[in-house]
A and B are shown apart, each in its own frame.
Chain A
Amino acid sequence: MIPTFNLTGDMFLAERLSIKFGKVGPGDIVLLRSPESPRKVMVKRLLGLESHSVTYVVDPMNSDRCDTIVVPKGHVWVEGDNIYNSRDSRQFGPVPYSLLEGRVFCKIWPPKEFGSLMKSGMKDPDL
């Protein structure tokens, strides 16, 4: 999730109510349980909700090839901000909405990066 978060040592606040009431949208940073390893919780950026059409770069280290996918019902598309080194929906596909655990809304450490996180890195979902 570089550059939004450093490799280690960052702390942030996350809340769970937005997920329960379905108030998350593309551009939000979310916590989700990994579909490959249920004991791990990942932090990724939400890029598409159900029925959104998401365009993504398949393998940015080696080529510029893009692919487009329509997110199925009940699922979401998540990607790390550092697409060169991130294991996300480009590898394991769209994830069910119920795997989302929380929404990150404020970084609290290190102090010079304190504040709410920008919705940068967002791609336009075609509705």
Chain B
Amino acid sequence: MATQSLLWNSVKKFLACGLIGLTISDRYASIVPVRGASMSPTFNPQARNFTDDYVLVEKFCLKKYEFSHGDVVVFCSPSNHKEKHIKRIIALPGDWIGTSHNSHDDVLKVPKGHCWVEGDNSASSMDSRSFGPIPLGLVKGRVTHVVWPPQRIGLVERVFPQERVSSFK
């Protein structure tokens, strides 16, 4: 029947689009919502907003795993593999980072293959200050742009507290 072949054509197109979309989202770039206020004011600057920010995450950085100080990245949580977090890379392998542990100041060397991540809103952010440096293999993408809400569409800048990090390269 004509309607059956029309239905089948639609299903085929839908599946093809789905596969292409999944491949692009897996390998190249995807758009994800940001939940929580740990990256205020970069994302979700007002907690009272009902809609989350949406950001563009690119996966090309995963070919070489080369990141810069100040990159905002998406990574799998080291304590729960089903959760993903978005934080900023403050220190790269081999850097010395100043932390404040148990109210006394401490200096830590970031081990080989790891990085130190922190949220922009240090008052309410679960990051490397609680779970330590994370292996770079946990990073699943880099956030490049904010795409929603429209009034805040733009590039995500690379900023980081340079006074707390020393790299001897």
Of chain B, the residue at the smallest CB distance from A100 is B81
Cβ-based interface call for A8 (8 A): no
B96-124 CB mask vs A (1 if < 8 Å, else 0) is 00000000000000011110000000000
State whether B78 touches A74 (Cβ < 8 A): yes
Contact residues in A for B114 (Cβ distance below 8 Å): 35
Q: Which of B76, B79, B81, B113 makes the CB contact (< 8 A) with A36? A: B113
State whether B113 touches A99 (Cβ < 8 A): no
* Number of B residues, CB within 8 Å of A: 18
State whether B138 touches A96 (Cβ < 8 A): yes
**Distance from A30 Cβ to chain B, minimum over Cβ atoms (Å):** 13
Of chain A, the residue at the smallest CB distance from B140 is A98
CA distance A44 to B168 in the complex (A): 33
**Distance from B73 Cβ to chain A, minimum over Cβ atoms (Å):** 12
State whether B80 touches A99 (Cβ < 8 A): no
Cβ-based interface call for B128 (8 A): no
B130-163 CB mask vs A (1 if < 8 Å, else 0) is 0000111111000000000000000000000000
Q: Most chain-A Cβ atoms within 10 A of its Cβ — which of B81, B112, B136? A: B81
- A37-B78 in contact given A96-B135, A96-B138, A99-B135 (Cβ < 8 Å): no
**Interface residues in A12-53 (C-beta closer than 8 Å to B):** 33-39
Contact residues in A for B138 (Cβ distance below 8 Å): 96, 98-99
Cβ-based interface call for A97 (8 A): yes
State whether B81 touches A33 (Cβ < 8 A): no
Cβ-based interface call for A90 (8 A): no
**Distance from B46 Cβ to chain A, minimum over Cβ atoms (Å):** 31
Cβ-based interface call for B48 (8 A): no
CA distance A41 to B98 in the complex (A): 31
CA distance A98 to B139 in the complex (A): 10
Cβ-based interface call for B28 (8 A): no
**Distance from B160 Cβ to chain A, minimum over Cβ atoms (Å):** 20
Contact residues in A for B80 (Cβ distance below 8 Å): 73-74
Of chain A, the residue at the smallest CB distance from B135 is A35
Which 3 pairs across A and B sit closest by C-beta, in order of nearness? A98-B76, A33-B137, A74-B79
Starting from the known contacts A75-B78, A98-B137, 9 additional A-B residue pairs (CB-CB under 8 Å) come to A37-B113, A38-B113, A38-B135, A73-B79, A73-B80, A96-B81, A98-B77, A98-B138, A99-B137
Q: Mind listing 8 A-B residue pairs with CB under 8 Å?
A: A35-B135, A38-B135, A39-B64, A74-B79, A74-B80, A74-B81, A96-B79, A99-B138
Where the two chains meet, the residues of B that have a C-beta atom closer than 8 Å to any C-beta of A are 64-65, 76-81, 111-114, 134-139
